[in-house]
Structures are given as C-alpha cells and as structure tokens.
Chain A
Amino acid sequence: MKKFYISIALLACLSMNSCKHNEWFERDPKSMITDDQLWNSPTLLTSLMANYYNRLPALHGLFNTGGMTEIDDAMWSGHRDQNWHNDFQFGDDYGRYWDYGFIRDINLSLENIEKLSVKLTSAQKRLFIAELRYIRAFVYFEMVKRMGGIPLVTTQLVYDFSGDPTPLQVPRAKEYEVYDFIFQEMEAIKEDLKDNNASKTRANKYAALALESRAMLYAASIAKYNNLMSSPISTPGGEVGIPAAMANSYYTKSLNASKEIISGPYALFNENADKGANFYDMLNKKTGSEVIFAKDFATGLKVHRFAYDNIIKSMTEDNESSSTISPSLSLVESFDYLDGSKGSLRNKDASGNYIAYTNVQDIFAHKDARLYGTVIYPGTAFKNNPVRIQAGVAVWTNGRYQLTSSPELGKNYDDGQVWTGFDGPKDDATDVSNTGFYIRKMVSDAPAASTRGTSAANWWPWFRLGEIYLNAAEASFELGQGEGLGYINSLRQRAGFPANSLSSLTMDIIRNERRVELAFEDHRYFDLKRWRMAHLVWDGSENDPNAVVWGLYGYRVIRPGHADNGKFIYERIRPSRFRRARFFRLANYYSSIDQTVLNNNPKIVRNPFQ
C-alpha cells in the first residue's frame, strides 16, 4: 500500500512538470529596484532626487540650533551637556566638509541617466541632468567656501584593480577654478531648469541664478579682501587665494545674476501691515514670492524640531528642552533706530545713571521692525500671548539700586507684583534665556509645533529675494555703481523705515544690513570669512563686546515716592554660562583637511597653517 502512494507521487512529479512557460518563474524582485527600472521611471527618479535634495549641506543652517549658537549672534541656553557651545574655540577642522560620497552618487546618476535612460523623453532627461548638476555645484560651493580649492571630480572614479591607484588621485583645483566651475555649470543649465520655475523646492532657473549670485560674490570678495590683508592667505599653487585682478569680473557676474532674478517673478514679502510681524511671516508662512528655493517640511511626513528647541519658556508645549538659542545683545543692538541712528540701547545716561522706562518694551521703541521679526524681547507677544520677560526688581536701598531675582521663575515680590517673569531671563539657568532675548525668526507658531509628537513644518530658505537685493547692492557698490542704494532702501522700507532712508552707502552699512536681514540664515560666518573680518570681530578677547555674548536684563524699580517707581531699568550683563570669547584664528579661514585624505592622496596640498 505504501509503495502505491509512493509511485503515485513519483508519477505526479515526473509527469506534471512539463510546462514550457518559463516566464512564470521570472518575477520582478520585490526587494530590489534594477537599474533598468530606476533610470527609466520618472517617479523613481523623482524620489531619488528627493534623497539628493535632502542631502544639500549647510553649516549653521537647516535649523541647526547648536550651530547658530557658535557665533556672535547667540549663545546656548539649553541643556548643560552642550554648554561647550559657550566654551570652545574654533578648531582647525571647524566647518570641515569633504563629501565625495555625495559627489560620487551624483556623478553616478548623471552617467547612468545618459547611458540607461532610454524610455525618458529628452525633456525629462534634460531636466533631471540639470537638477543633478545644480546639486553637484551646490555641494562644490559648500566645499570651496569652507576648504578652499578642492578636487573637481565630475565623473565616477572606478578602480581598475591594476595595483596602481594614481588615476584615482585627483589634485586640488585652484580656488578660482572651483568658482569658475560653478559659474559655468549654472550658465549651462539655467535654461534647462525652466520647467521647474513653478516649484520652490526643486531647482529652477532662478535658483541657479541665485547660487551664481552668491558664489560669484564670495569669489569676488575673497579676491578683493584677501589681497588687502597684510599677509594674504594663500598657497603657492593657488589652491587657496584668488588673484585680486579677478575681483571686478566676479562682482560683475554676481550683479548680472542678481539683476536677472530681480527682474524675474519675485517680490519682497509684504502681506502684513505690521512690519515686524510681516518679517516673521515672510519665512514662517509659505505664501508670497520672496523665497526662491527652499527645503520644505510637512506635518506628519517630514518635520524638524526647531520650535521644540527654541520655543519661549512660558509657552512650552512639551517637557524638557525649550529656549535654547539666546540671541546676543550685540545682535539686538545692530538693528538701527527708525530715525537712522545707530542701534545701541540707551540703558544709562552719560553720567552712568540708569534711564527708567515706563513700559518694559520702551527701551526698544522705534527700532528697525526686523528686530521684532527676529528676536523676542520684553513686552512683545508670541502666538498672541504676551511674553513674560523680566529679570527681577531693583530696590532702592542706601542710595543705590539693589538688583534681585526670585529663586524660581514666575514668582511675585513682596509687593504682590512680578519679581522674575516666567520667561526669565535668569543667569546660569537651563532652558530659559540667559541673555534676556529669545529667537522668533523661523520658530513656528503653528499649533503643537513645539511638541516632539507633531513638530514643526516651516521651511528652510536656501535663497530668498532679500539676500539677492543685498548681493546686488554689495556687488554694485564694490563696482562703484550707484544702484545699490535703491536695493538697500527697499529692504529698509519693508522693515518700517521711511522711503529712501539712506542717502549714501558704505561697506559698513551693507555689512550691518546683511547681519540684521539675514540673521540665523547661515550667512554671517561665511560673510565675515569672505570679507576677511572674522579674525578681527571674533578676536578671542574677553573684553570685546563682539567676541563675547552679552545680555540685557530688565528690572522693575521699587522706589516708593520717587518718579521712577514702577518703571523699568536695564542692566548689561555677561551671562555666566558664556565661558569663552569667540576666537577665530587665521587658520580658521580654511578648515584643515582630514589626515586620512592626505594619507590616501599624496597629491592633496595642505591648507595654510595646517
């Protein structure tokens, strides 16, 4: 009986496999995408591009809370385990960026689209290729501004197992060659990117021109200001340092690119009659046509925690972190008064006595509206709730003011009124401002944006028209042309200044405008570098108000019977958590190259001072 079953089974096996349909066995793997599929499917290619767009680099940008507290615009008031942001020196490798993995991925994609994309239309191919070249130039720009001239690799480097790696060892290009490469690439692809002109999150023609405008301005100012130094920073082979004679042509290229954008479809954001709120809305809302190219975020899909890190103390929606970035007094003071005078805050008169103000915000009255849009200061509101910033009370005792703060935030003084507000500031405290200021710019006011569960979804602006105005103003000023004044005056008018508030420009005015307009947008570190001013501004000196982050604490006066009773006075303080003055050395103008890179490629020249 057993034999019978076995023979039936054998018969079945032998007789029923005669099927000729082999394709039944050939199935597309579900865990793998083949080259053929990827390079011929616009959907898959778009999601590959999303990966590359997501990897676009920034130093202090992309909502990098820690990075933003490493220069003179702010200090770190968050958890103590990262207090090193307040106690460090720019190392020789600060800002090092050497991402040839990314460059290889892009080169590989470019070659494969050329070779394997047979089913795409030529228009689709052209657009993808242009976008890839845009991203590659963007990455090279980030590298050249931090490292100087780097190897320009535009094809895949494939090892042939011959035992000789020298064909893979590419030497560094000259610094200006990299900038020229960026210019040529942008000129070559800008028309191809036109199909993206409706998008703000994929590279379009104007994003290419904006990169050109910024990169050419950097090249021009390095050419000019490096050679004005008493000993210019350079290497004999030109890997670092651009000849001074090239400055004018770079400024011209930058200006031309800027003008082409300005005559394009963009306009300065002007949707809110309240100039301060308008400046905040410009980056917080995704409307208007100011932003040229941005990295977008979406709730539930891709979010960031900038609001969680930096929400003002009393409006925290989650536990633990808040209030991490504390803007500095020097940033607040760099915002001019609307009458055109310098922005220093008048907390004491000429003889050193406190000036008492009726309301806590009065000391900031008549300031550039961009201050409101960038910084939360006492007496303002966030999410329509008034902020509660007050450091303490000033009690008049024995002929002088005694400044006291409550041991806990939000307590009342003996007189039943506020002692220290819920928002501090409090010296030597965590998760509450140590300088008396909070950041408003780019901190989302959307519901639950500061919770870790929901998080924020406001976007990161790579390029916006405000910067292009400033680029155009700087380039035309350097070229001795007069049109720059109009660009700066339009920006100032948007910030609440009267029309034509300036009658002439200086480089100092342009530099200050860049600081206030573009604060926390990853510009200042690179701006000071290209003007060769970083080592003068951040000179490491503990007595220097630019190198040290200071704060301003407001106190309520208790002096019964005196006219100043109940008014507010302000004291400049050096926060005790801020430990070491910012110190930028000549060696920091170009980050050191990693030793493994030098070991692997003997053709790489070291940076100066390395």
Chain B
Amino acid sequence: MKLKFLMILTATASVFLAGCGYDNFNAPESSLSGRVVYDGKPVGVRNSGPQLELWQDGYPLRTKIPVYLNQDGTFSASLFDGRYKLVRMGDSPWLQQASDTIIVNVKGNTSVDVPVTPYFTITGNSFQKSGNTISARFVVNKIVPSANVEFVRLYLGKSILTDQVQRELRVDGNVGTLVFGQQSIIEGELPDNLKNLDYIYARIGIKSTASSEYLYTEIQKIALK
C-alpha cells in the first residue's frame, strides 16, 4: 500500500512538475539603450512623458512595446535579440514620424541615437541668482517652420525631477515679444518655500501648439547658499 502510494505520488509529481518547453522562456537578456537627439545633442523631456514605440514583425501577435524616456532624453528597454522597428510618436515635443520607422538590430547590448525634429530648441541657457530673483537667459530656435509657440516657461523646484507637472514655481515668458535666435530673459521671484533651501533646480520648457508635451533644457542645480 505504502509502495503504491509512493509510486502514484512520484508519477503525479513527474507529470505535474515537469516543465514544458513551449511556454517557458528565459527573460530577455539583451538591452537596447539610447538617446533622443537633435543635432547630436540630447533632447530634454518630461520624465515618463513622451514615448517611443518598438515593433517587431514576423510574429502572429503584433503589438507595440512602449519605451518611456528619462528626462534627459535617454531610454532603455530589455529585449530579445532581433530586428525591431522604432517609431517616433506624436504628442511629443517633436514631429510625429509614424511612417518613417528606424530599423534597429538588437544583438547583445545595443545602443542607438534616435534623431528627432523638435518644433523648437533652446540653446545658450544660463541661470543667475541675485537676491531672491532667478533670471534665466536663453535663446529659442525655431526648427519646424510651421510651428507656433504656446508657452515658454521657467520652472523652479526642489526636486531633480522638475517640469510642468512637478514644480514649485512656474513663470511664464512673454511669447508675444519672443524673437527666435535672440536672447530672451525670464525672471522668477523665489517663493517662501524655496528661499531657505540650500539649492534648487531650474529648467526652461517650451511648448508648441501642436503637442501637449514640452521640450526642456537640461536640469540645472542652483546653489542658494
């Protein structure tokens, strides 16, 4: 009786616990990393705001792999080796190029620069502190001729993740007097909750009317003491 029980147990265990090769895959080990660039320089965005899409042909299940961007324009995705198509989505601070895909061959750890065409860029930015005023100087360049500026804004915050969504102070620049290619200034008065900190973070963002996402400058740490 005992022997029979053991035999049944062994048989059951071997049936139920045996792995099946069809539905057990190893986790993807390769990685695709890269940056979103314009003119060789990374493009700053809102953290986990704009997305890229990856697609892979040749399988019956055709669905996208969303790739989120860090605020400095970098990204990474864990993938299997293979040939992927990378798509630049709309509702981003750059032109939608849905049909103009980039072919990426992932083998081991692959790195790729994704060129985009932002509506605007901001160059030559600098921040000065005098008293309780932060003044930001920058130059706005128009890249897409048909684009219109909706907002250009200075953001100050406590956190390194400072943007339209998460910030302590937002100062609107005057879009009416903005001249492309020439220096503009936005000045912001430090609010009470920032005044006594050791340092704050500052950033300038610009939004075109064609998208809900801003293009940002690199985050800048400003020492207050």
Contacts and interface: CB of A to CB of B under 8 A. Distances in A.
B91 interface: yes
A18 interface: no
Interface stretch (B27-35, B100-108, B209-217): B209-217
A586 B212 CA distance: 6
B164 A541 contact: yes
Nearest to A586: B212
A609 B170 contact: no
Interface string B150-191: 100000000000001111001000000000000000000000
B209 A587 contact: no
Nearest to A583: B165
Interface string A206-247: 000000000000000000000001110000000000000000
Interface residues of A, number: 20
Contacts of A543: 167, 170
A567 interface: no
B90 A609 contact: yes
B111 interface: no
Given A540-B164, A543-B167, A608-B90, A231 B209 contact: yes
B165 A541 contact: yes
B62 interface: yes
A36 interface: no
B148 interface: yes
B91 A229 contact: no
A231 to B, nearest CB: 4
B41 interface: no
Interface residues of B, number: 21
A599 interface: yes
A448 to B, nearest CB: 45
A203 B5 CA distance: 67
Contacts of A535: 212
Given A230-B150, A231-B210, A599-B62, A540 B91 contact: no
A295 interface: no
Given A608-B90, A609-B96, A586 B211 contact: yes
B64 interface: yes
B91 A585 contact: yes
B89 interface: yes
Contacts, number: 44
B63 interface: yes
Contacts of A583: 165
Interface string B100-135: 000000000000000000000000000000000000
Interface in B21-64: 62-64
A229 B212 CA distance: 12
A586 B91 contact: yes
Nearest to A230: B209
Contacts of A542: 165-167
A269 B166 CA distance: 45
B98 interface: yes
A595 B62 contact: yes
Interface string B75-94: 00000000000000111000
Contacts of A231: 148, 208-210
A608 B213 CA distance: 15
Nearest to A606: B98
A557 interface: no
A467 B170 CA distance: 38
A595 B165 contact: no
Interface string A244-278: 00000000000000000000000000000000000
Given A599-B62, A609-B91, 7 more contacts: A230-B209, A541-B164, A541-B170, A586-B212, A587-B91, A609-B89, A610-B90
Interface of B: 62-64, 89-91, 96, 98, 148, 150, 164-167, 170, 208-213
30 contacts: A229-B209, A230-B150, A230-B209, A231-B148, A231-B209, A231-B210, A535-B212, A539-B164, A540-B164, A540-B165, A541-B164, A541-B165, A541-B167, A541-B170, A542-B165, A542-B166, A542-B167, A543-B167, A583-B165, A585-B212, A586-B211, A586-B212, A587-B91, A595-B62, A595-B63, A595-B64, A599-B62, A609-B90, A609-B91, A610-B90
Interface of A: 229-231, 535, 539-543, 581, 583, 585-587, 595, 599, 606, 608-610
